[in-house]
Structure 1
Amino acid sequence: MRLMIAGGGGFRVPLVYRALCTGPFAGLVSELVLFDVDAQRLQAIQAVLRDMPTGTGSGPAVVACSDLGQALTGTDVVFAAIRPGGTAGRIADERVALELGLLGQETTGAGGISYALRSIPRMLELARAMRRYCPDAWLINFTNPAGMVTEALVPVLGSRVIGICDSAGGLAQRAARAAGFPLEEGNLDGVGYYGLNHLGWLYRLAPGGEDLLPGLLADPAALESMEEGRLFGQHTLEKLGCLPNEYLYYYYRTSQATQAIRGQRQTRGASIHQQQHSLYPDLVRAADAYALWDAARRSREEGYLAEARTHGEQRDESDLAGGGYERVALAVMRALSVGSVGSVGGTTQLILNVPNAPVLPAESLHPAEVAVPGLPPDAVVEVPSQVTPDGAVAVAQERPPGPFLTLMQHVKEVERLTIRAVRDHDREAAVQAFAVHPLVGSEPLGRQLLAGYEEAFPGLTGLWGSVPGRD
């Protein structure tokens, strides 16, 4: 199998290669094509892969390429993890919002909309190129905001695009371990989760038939053993009656998160930019590029969601070990190619970003028309899904309670306005996307945000054509 990574000079690419060399995914890929528009980044990542210890395993042949057509021709699966504007763009995503007193985070709120306005056009270009050069290939999308980008690509690629994120699946695994009933790989039978990317809730945990979630929520020690328990606290979790995705911290603790970010010496984006600005040239020259990269990777993992750990708390060692996105992506790829990975009906079960319909019924529910009742059939949602060689299909979930569903509907409206802004070259739709976001909630602020991002990213104005007062 030939796998192409769009964004092949990305920092996390070595995690994919490592997984392809040893363990359950070894031998799955014969050729790995790294495509990137930045030659230095490609050279640096090639140096890391060259120096990576792989034990007794042998990895796929690695080819670096800067020609998109050449990279796609003959490809079976594409992983996409691109960041238009680079890490410097992430700084602006955070800064413009913070300067207006709003949350500055790259995927949640104003920063996520700005990121999407840059990433959706580039991802549409990739999808159209796939239609030309490898029409039967699958696109597994990591590019953020993952759910919104995936929904924008469905009209081009149909069922052959699947969005992934490791956050929701990681939550389910951590909760199951804390409850004393670890989940089998590729088996989410009895797990209930509904939401959008970075906006979801684990509401049932019954891998053995009995729902373990109420007991977990009532156990302070068990909750303290997992990241989400420490983030939200037992009182909040018992009141919610479920476990929220860690990114809901930005909704439930908005003021606290914003103040913590503003109080940091530098934003998360600035820290990563500073690290990578010096790291990539050093990787090219290093005697052991892998060791240098791995130290930087661990440091980066330690800083994840630092604004939520204001009392010196440390991340779990399992979270620092690395390995999240690549395991999900490779599990999807393996199921698409051979099936029979998990233990339920010869399919793999993963929490993925897929259209709300078609849908598979869950054992505990009556047949359903959509996976998440209350959201449109063509909306991309993040839910347990079954993956076979025919693709990924959502599994029906319970109807979310009113407050959860209202928030999901609200954020889905923002996503659709953002997609419309790109698709129809509609600047006013972009203004409204910022304005109606629940973390903004103001049309004047929406206009200020878009103007600020247009100043930070002059290329954005090219989306709109001629804008009155801006010629």
Structure 2
Amino acid sequence: MRLALLGGGGFRVPLVHADLLADPDGLVDELVLHDLDAERLAAITAVLRQQAGGATRPRLRPTTDLVTALTGADAVFVAIRTGGLAGRAADERIALRHGLLGQETVGPGGICFALRAIPVAVDIARRVAERAPGAWVVNFTNPAGMVTEAMAGVLGDRVIGVCDSPDALCRRVAGALGVDPERAAFDYVGLNHLGWLRAVVVDGRDRLPELLADDAALRSFEEGRLFHPEWLRALGALPNEYLHYYYATRETVERLRATGATRGEFLRAQQEEFYRAARRDPRAALRLWRRARAEREDTYLAEARDAVGAGPRDAADVEAGGYQRIALDLLRALATGRRDTMILDVRNRHGLAGLDRDAVVEVPCLVDAGGARPLAVAPVREHLAALMRAVRAVERDALTAATERDRAAALRAIAGHPLVDSVGAARRVLADYVATFPELADLGEQDGPD
């Protein structure tokens, strides 16, 4: 199989490559790495060649030409970051400047990211349709739900979104319960970065109630430490870690404003240093990458943990993650027809009442050679459903703004987000984003004073 990875100079690419090296089936025999930045691509290629040791499979083929990357591909992984980490840093910092949550995919920052990423993703989808019409497309690009939906407008159900947060939550919960995650059925429902685990069924019995009743067990894993036990019991469910930004907004904004650097600014500085060092000494690229990666993992969601006093991550929290493993399991099921059940980002169809059929939802899916089909979902409690509907309305406006270059829709998306409490602040944030990013210039207009 020929796998094209768009964003091939990205920092997390070695994780995908490591799983390909460890794959006993040797599913992928050629890995094409595409990136617009030749220097970043060279640095990551050096990491991969050292990581491979003497292994010759998969063959590596770096390129800066998109047509070359896509032509003949059997599968395409899309892991791009329009605007780079400098863009993420601006998304986050501008929101904070106006007293709003500054986060990569949640709130105003996520909307601005979508406004930049969606047009590029749609163009990639059209190129895939032309150059590799039979390829399966796996999207990692954030905001994953909106980007996947936009690409599905071109590719239909041949594009599937992947996020590792739900799978990591399920595995950590299984660990806290002392059960094998492969023996459990997980009832998870939501949108990307807005979901809840509602049941953990083992041998026909839901084990989640006993976990919710045990404070010590809840504090043994990351999500249990992020949310107060009383709140978890009130919900009757375990939230995805990103729900922290909704349930502890005030504390997180205060913490972020008191911190010297946002997460985007930290990662930008860290990765710039890695790429510089790898250019200076390509022979040390793998060692440099491993050191930077360890620091990155240790500080993941640090502002959220600090805001609620959750403490540092432990080994189990880090080990449970891994979008690359999910993506390769998905690819194996699609390529071989081997059936699997996975939590993925797919079009709703009629699975979740109250959401339109084109909404990309994050739910358990049955995967085989025919694609990924959402499984039946039990009715959603009103508290959860109301938040999903509110965020879905924001997504629709953001998609309209991105595809039709509609400023009014962009303003509605920002002002209507549950984490934005002022239309005036929304107008000022949008104006700052338009002034900062040249690709958003067509969303600008002359407004009167607030």
What is aligned with 2:347? 355
1:298 aligns with 2:294: yes
Cα separation, 1, equivalents of 2:226 and 2:172: 13
Cα separation, 1, equivalents of 2:327 and 2:67: 23
Match of 1:143 among 123, 131, 141: 141
**What aligned pairs does 1:146-295 form with structure 2 within 5 A after superposition?**
146-184=144-182, 190-286=185-281, 287-295=283-291
What is aligned with 1:49? 48
Match of 1:413 among 393, 396, 406: 393
Q: Post-superposition shift, 1:224?
A: 1.2
What is aligned with 1:389? 369
1:316 aligns with 2:311: no
Q: Post-superposition shift, 1:321?
A: 4.8
**What aligned pairs does 1:333-348 form with structure 2 within 5 A after superposition?**
333-340=331-338, 347-348=339-340
Q: Post-superposition shift, 1:309?
A: 2.0
Q: Post-superposition shift, 1:403?
A: 1.3
What is aligned with 1:104? 102
1:89 aligns with 2:87: yes
Letter in 2 for 1:276: Q
Q: Post-superposition shift, 1:320?
A: 3.3
Cα separation, 2, equivalents of 1:292 and 1:321: 20
Matched-pair contact (CA < 8 Å) for 2:334–2:371: yes
| TM-score, structure 1 normalization | 0.91
Q: Return the structure number with greater helix share.
A: 2
Counterpart of 1:432 in 2: which secondary structure? Answer: helix
Q: Post-superposition shift, 1:459?
A: 1.7
Q: For the structure 1 residues 322 and 383, does the alpha-carbon distance in structure 2 shift closer, same or farther, using more than 3 Å as the test?
A: closer
Q: Deviations over 1:175-201 (max 9, x none)?
A: 1111121211xx76x321110000000
Cα separation, 1, equivalents of 2:447 and 2:3: 46
Moved more, 442-451 or 429-438: 442-451
Letter in 1 for 2:8: G
Matched-pair contact (CA < 8 Å) for 1:354–1:382: yes
What is aligned with 1:40? 39
Runs of at least 5 residues in structure 2 that lack an aligned partner in the other structure: none
Matched-pair contact (CA < 8 Å) for 1:436–1:442: no
1:428 aligns with 2:423: no
Q: Deviations over 1:51-102 (max 9, x none)?
A: 1155x86530000111111110000110011111111111101011000100
Moved more, 122-131 or 276-285: 276-285
Matched-pair contact (CA < 8 Å) for 2:151–2:159: yes
Matched-pair contact (CA < 8 Å) for 1:15–1:323: no
Cα separation, 2, equivalents of 1:294 and 1:308: 24
Cα separation, 2, equivalents of 1:114 and 1:458: 12
Letter in 2 for 1:9: G
Q: Post-superposition shift, 1:467?
A: 4.3
What is aligned with 1:344? none
Matched-pair contact (CA < 8 Å) for 1:107–1:113: yes
Cα separation, 1, equivalents of 2:21 and 2:316: 20
- After superposition, the CA RMSD in angstroms is 1.7
Q: Post-superposition shift, 1:221?
A: 1.7
What is aligned with 2:129? 131
Runs of at least 5 residues in structure 1 that lack an aligned partner in the other structure: 341-346, 358-369
Counterpart of 2:205 in 1: which secondary structure? Answer: coil
Matched-pair contact (CA < 8 Å) for 1:107–1:144: yes
Letter in 2 for 1:411: V
1:458 aligns with 2:438: yes
Match of 1:378 among 355, 358, 374: 358
Cα separation, 2, equivalents of 1:372 and 1:251: 21
Matched-pair contact (CA < 8 Å) for 2:113–2:143: yes
Q: Post-superposition shift, 1:449?
A: 1.4
Q: Post-superposition shift, 1:260?
A: 1.1
Counterpart of 2:181 in 1: which secondary structure? Answer: coil
Counterpart of 1:309 in 2: which secondary structure? Answer: helix
Match of 1:62 among 60, 67, 77: 60
| TM-score, structure 2 normalization | 0.96
Matched-pair contact (CA < 8 Å) for 2:164–2:321: no
Cα separation, 1, equivalents of 2:415 and 2:205: 43
Counterpart of 2:141 in 1: which secondary structure? Answer: coil
Cα separation, 2, equivalents of 1:467 and 1:455: 11
Cα separation, 1, equivalents of 2:321 and 2:258: 30
Counterpart of 1:104 in 2: which secondary structure? Answer: coil
Q: Post-superposition shift, 1:133?
A: 0.5
Letter in 1 for 2:380: P
Matched-pair contact (CA < 8 Å) for 2:365–2:375: yes
Matched-pair contact (CA < 8 Å) for 1:298–1:321: no
Q: Post-superposition shift, 1:322?
A: 8.2
Q: Deviations over 1:253-299 (max 9, x none)?
A: 00011111111121111100001112112113333211110110010
> Share of identical aligned residues, percent?
50
Letter in 1 for 2:104: E
Aligned length: 445
Counterpart of 2:384 in 1: which secondary structure? Answer: helix
1:403 aligns with 2:402: no
Matched-pair contact (CA < 8 Å) for 2:13–2:44: yes
